[in-house]
A and B are shown apart, each in its own frame.
Chain A
């Protein structure tokens, strides 16, 4: 087990480096000139000294590889500026504030939203999937399977738009606009986060319901379930202690696959519900062409996703001994 974890952690390091190369190639090699032009266009005058200053500020002077080393922070080891390795994500062009400081406020908000969404999708789909499996080919089963297909087909932001539109028409209700942090006002905070978290969780749960159902059906056909019944265990013990536990193991991987969906959900819903998280920061940065922020944020997003996938894989190995020993 320790060997497996160590192996996975070691493999994550080259992947992270490749991610930085990808971002660097995408945002620096493919278009630096355009970005400078666009930013200068915002200032409204084409001034060579301004251009030079901007290029220096963006780290666009010198060779490409030295730019890359500066950004990642490898050159720090021989006296260059700090970079990603040292935890320096750069500074915003517009506000001049360091990206890391801004993220310290924003990451917890997005993370919280994502966690709640994940809980929603699991809490919603596992019971429904179990019910569908137990009532196989009955009305409830068809209804729940259709629900699963529907949820996967309907865009979640549409559900949000409908709730906001008809909430305001019928109940004169609108989502709160002023964001409150958890530490400032917990009740108001939960009021703001509840609805987006619920809706984000709906999309992944569409396919999750169907998966829990098939897993459950497969496990219920196994011999050890019959043995458990034959031992005279009660229906509930068999279902929850023997069947559900085993049925849930493969579902852990699906939670890993659903993570990008959850991240996408937080990005969208931070726009709709005006939540100051990472997604909103990203969209603002892209719209302002706040170029260091875009770079840093993309890296942080990838980093968080990589860590989450890693955790999911490790917990899967922990739950299923077959992975550990293969």
Chain B
């Protein structure tokens, strides 16, 4: 009653409206909080960001998009190219020095050279682009598909749900590596082919958890309230369900990132990755390179270490993120 008399504005004595700090401050606070709670995950987050930058994800995507759209603007410069100019020990990935084949580490070639005199360190650096581009791109596609299927089948239920689930079952019955080998081997491979194929084929399977969470969210009273207010299906899905399953999407994405790096490495190892001059970690370990590993064991070691570090960082970062984001675990510490 008192509230009505005040014209609908609740003024309680001793209560102050919360002062909203600028977003920079809030971001810095939550980051500091994350770092304090999960130091290792925080460090791994930095490793991920490092590979993200070295892997030139943003320039490559923008350049590709502008090429597809036919905008012939100046291309965005690559970080790797800048590194080449700034540091004497970073070379273009295809530059051969046939006089310096299969060398060990030196000040000129940090990790030595491969069988046709290409610098291993530089190739690892450029290989990061393949690994990070493929994993991020494919995750983006597969999570969009997974979220769409999961939310729709959880929202509509009934025969929509059943129908979509038959499709998801089909994708679950197809062994991924076999399908990837068939598609990439028959259609031909490339950076964007890898991204699209891994993303699209991996998408439907991602929907399982999201569907479950959607069904759970659907039973909340605020969905009913939204209905009463007169929201349409699309608005409910986008504005009410999506934000409530989003933490799950992010978590699944971070876990699939590591998996996709391994998958890309595997496909490249078997010869279904990028075509030869372009470096990829899996390809550097591949069957052709194995004959030289006796003379230069670095060829067998470094690319595997690089894969391990990236996947390890993705996984630990995902673990830490889960502990921070999961509402059930949030209050436990």
Instruction: Give A residues with C-beta under 8 Å from B.
Output: 11, 14-16, 18-19, 22, 26-27, 31, 35, 149-150, 152-155, 157-158, 161-162, 164-166, 168-169, 260, 263-264, 267-268, 271-272, 282-283, 286-287, 289, 294, 297-298, 301-302, 305-306, 309
Contact = CB atoms under 8 A, between A and B. Distances in A.
13 contacts: A15-B169, A152-B315, A153-B308, A153-B315, A154-B307, A158-B285, A158-B308, A161-B285, A161-B300, A267-B178, A282-B178, A305-B175, A309-B172
Contacts of A289: 186
A158 B306 CA distance: 11
Nearest to B297: A165
Interface stretch (B142-150, B219-227, B228-236, B287-295): B287-295
Nearest to B299: A165
A314 B183 CA distance: 32
Nearest to A210: B319
A282 B258 CA distance: 26
A149 B175 contact: no
Q: Which 5 residue pairs are nearest across A and B when measured between Cβ atoms?
A: A286-B185, A158-B304, A264-B177, A153-B312, A153-B311
Given A153-B312, A161-B285, A271-B270, A35 B186 contact: yes
B93 interface: no
Given A164-B290, A260-B176, 8 more contacts: A19-B170, A153-B308, A157-B269, A169-B297, A263-B177, A283-B270, A286-B186, A302-B175
A308 to B, nearest CB: 10
Contacts of A301: 174-175, 178
A283 B266 CA distance: 13
A33 B282 CA distance: 32
B187 A162 contact: no
Contact residues of B: prevailing secondary structure: helix
Interface of B: 166-167, 169-170, 172-179, 181-183, 185-187, 258, 262, 265-266, 269-270, 282, 285, 287, 290, 293-294, 297, 300-301, 303-304, 307-308, 311-312, 315-316
Most chain B beta-carbon neighbours within 10 Å: one of A18, A165, A263, A301: A165
Contacts of B177: 260, 263-264, 267-268
Contacts of B174: 19, 22, 298, 301-302, 305
Nearest to B183: A26
Contacts of B182: 26-27, 282, 286, 294, 298
B270 to A, nearest CB: 6
Nearest to A20: B170
A282 B271 CA distance: 13
Contacts of B266: 155, 157, 264, 268
Nearest to B178: A301
Contact residues of A: prevailing secondary structure: helix
B45 to A, nearest CB: 16
A164 B301 CA distance: 12
Contacts of B311: 152-155
Nearest to B173: A306
Nearest to A303: B173
B186 to A, nearest CB: 6
A309 B270 CA distance: 26
A86 to B, nearest CB: 21
Contacts of A164: 290
A268 B287 CA distance: 11
A157 B176 CA distance: 17
B304 A31 contact: no
B308 A283 contact: no
Contacts of A168: 294
Given A155-B307, A264-B176, A264-B266, A149 B312 contact: yes
Contacts of A15: 166, 169-170, 173
Nearest to B181: A286
Contact of A165 (B175, B185, B290, B303): B290
A14 B168 CA distance: 12
A18 B170 contact: yes
A169 B183 contact: no
Contacts of B170: 15, 18-19, 22
Contacts of B258: 152-153
B309 to A, nearest CB: 8
Contact of A149 (B179, B285, B287, B315): B315
Nearest to B180: A264
A154 B300 CA distance: 13
A90 B170 CA distance: 22
A312 to B, nearest CB: 12
Contact of B294 (A27, A169, A282): A169
A298 B266 CA distance: 18
B186 A31 contact: yes
A268 B269 CA distance: 9
A165 B297 CA distance: 7
Given A18-B167, A263-B178, A302-B174, A155 B187 contact: no
Given A155-B265, A264-B177, A14 B270 contact: no
Contacts of B293: 161, 165
Contacts of A27: 182, 186
A155 B265 CA distance: 8
Contacts of B175: 260, 263-264, 301-302, 305
B178 A298 contact: yes
Given A18-B170, A31-B187, A305-B175, A161 B304 contact: yes
Contact of A271 (B176, B287, B301, B304): B287
A301 B177 CA distance: 11
Contacts of A166: 297, 300
A283 B178 CA distance: 9
Most chain B beta-carbon neighbours within 10 Å: one of A158, A162, A267: A158
